[in-house]
Amino acid sequence: MKHFIFFLLVPFLAFSQASLNDAKKHIDKKEFKKAELLLSEYVKTNQDDIEAIELFGDAYGHQKKWDEAIVQYKKLVEAKPRNANFHYKYGGALGMKALSINKLKALGIIGDVKDAFLKAAELDPKHIDARWALVELYMQLPGIVGGSKSKSFKYANELEALSKVDGYLAKGYIYEYDDEPELAEKFYKLAIEVGGSLNCYDKLTDLYEKEKQPAKAIGNLEASAEKHERNAMHYQIGKVCAEYNIELEKGEKCLLIYIENYTAKDGVPKAWAYYRLAQIYKFKKEKEDALKWINKAIADLPKIEVFKEEKSAIQSL
């Protein structure tokens, strides 16, 4: 009789595992709604499947359905209270919810967010993401509800002990957030020296743009381009040139290269490169070329208001 029951269960178990595998594939393809629908049915009959519950929470999280994600991640924390990553995901979903509601209501959640991240860091001394979350949380919170630059530095130092790049980036973030751009620049440069990833270069470029230092931003982008061959860098250089009316020939050349080599993985639609070219030709007082490119931008993305505003500015030349 037991063998007969097992025989009956085998197809069901195989079907369940197939559903779970399909859900994983949907998440990998960023088809989060499809994954949600599959997992919703799956967990009804597999309520103790930790992997499925985590995927279910992830599917909700990717769709910014924070309340639903919180429910799933809380199940994980209760089922596996010694798992650092489950506490981290639970705290992350709570934190994102806090950002999406009014500040008064958010105050009631912040304590739970902090507790979850602290627990994750305590359970796993090498959990980099939890420490990054604490660096950001302590800097962003007002002092009256527990914000603390010194506590943020504590976790930045822990990050540096685990990964010099992350430690330097964290300290750059702290100084940038605290409006100390020279110190932020110092640590972002250290991160580039040690790591040199695109993220390191991007942090420094963003700082230069924020501080309205276009020449430094372009120099950093060019240094990044020498190490990392990616077409998106051409757009970034062209954008800075167009926004600040500097090195217009370089900007024009970079944008034309971006358009010629464009693929979907570059991220920024070609219409925005057309728009930047129109800006450059406007600054060069070449009205006909400026109109040609802004018309191409509008044809590609007709609902973008800034394109229409730029066209009016060009027509008034």
* 85 and 111 co-located in one domain: yes
Give the whole-angstrom CA distance, residue 239 versus residue 259.
13
Give the per-residue pLDDT at 143. 63
Does the residue 235 lie in any domain? no
Tell me which of 176, 209, 229 is where a domain ends: 229
Residue 131 lies in a domain: no
Express each pLDDT in 36-56 by its tens digit.
988 888 888 888 889 989 999
- Residues 154 and 211 occupy one common structural domain: yes
| pLDDT recorded at residue 101 | 85
Does 256 share its domain with 206?
no
Residues 260 and 190 in one domain: no
Burial of 239 (0-12, 13-18, 19+ CB in 10 A): buried
Burial (CB count within 10 angstroms: exposed 0-12, middle 13-18, buried 19+), residue 171: buried
What is the rounded distance in angstroms from the CA atom of residue 66 to the CA atom of residue 73? 10
Assign 143 to helix, strand or coil.
helix
Residue 135 lies in a domain: no
Upper half-sphere CA count for residue 157 (Cβ side, 13 Å): 6
**Statement to judge: residues 103 and 168 lie in one domain:** no
Q: Which of 138, 207, 130, 114 is nearest to 162 (CA)?
A: 130
User: What letter would DSSP give residue 265?
Assistant: G
**Looking at the structure, do residues 27 and 117 belong to the same domain, yes or no?**
yes
Structural domain contains residue 3: no
216, part of any domain: yes
Q: Are residues 31 and 118 in the same domain?
A: yes
CA distance 295 to 213: 30
How high is the pLDDT of residue 144? 54
Residue 76: what are its φ and ψ, rounded to 5°? -65, -45
Domain CATH code at residue 75: 1.25.40.10
Domain termination site, one of 175, 203, 229? 229
Is the pLDDT reported for residue 21 higher than 70?
A: yes
- Identify the pLDDT of residue 149: 93
In the predicted model, is pLDDT for residue 8 greater than 70?
A: no
For 52, the domain range is: 23-124
Look-up of token digits 């372009």: 218
Q: Confirm if 120 and 110 have CB atoms less than 8 A apart.
A: no
Q: What is the domain count for the chain?
A: 3
Share of the chain above pLDDT 90, in %: 74
- The mean per-residue pLDDT over the stretch 88-101 comes to 91
Separation between Cα atoms, residue 31 and residue 204, nearest integer Å: 33
Do 170 and 248 fall into the same domain? no
Higher pLDDT, 27 or 305: 305
Instruction: Give 100-150 pLDDT, tens digit per residue.
Output: 888 788 888 889 999 999 999 999 999 999 999 999 999 988 765 667 899
For residues 102 and 171, membership in a common domain is answered with no
What average pLDDT does the chain have? 90
List the alpha helices (DSSP H) in the chain: 2-28, 32-45, 50-62, 66-79, 84-100, 103-123, 128-140, 149-162, 164-177, 181-194, 198-210, 214-227, 232-244, 248-260, 270-283, 287-300, 305-315
81 shares its domain with 101: yes
Same domain, 221 and 246: no
Indicate if 221 and 264 belong to the same structural domain. Answer: no
Instruction: Report the pLDDT value the prediction gives residue 12, as an integer from 0 to 100.
Output: 40
**Domain stop point among 185, 207, 229:** 229
Quote the CA–CA distance of 204 and 211 in Å, as a whole number. Answer: 11
Residue 4, pLDDT above cutoff 50: no
Q: What is the pLDDT of residue 167?
A: 97
C-beta of residue 137 within 8 angstroms of C-beta of residue 148: no
243-270 pLDDT, tens digit per residue, is 999 999 999 999 999 999 999 888 899 9
Is position 16 within any domain?
no
Decide which of 292 and 264 is more confident: 292
The answer to whether residue 265 sits within a structural domain is yes
CA distance 187 to 184: 5
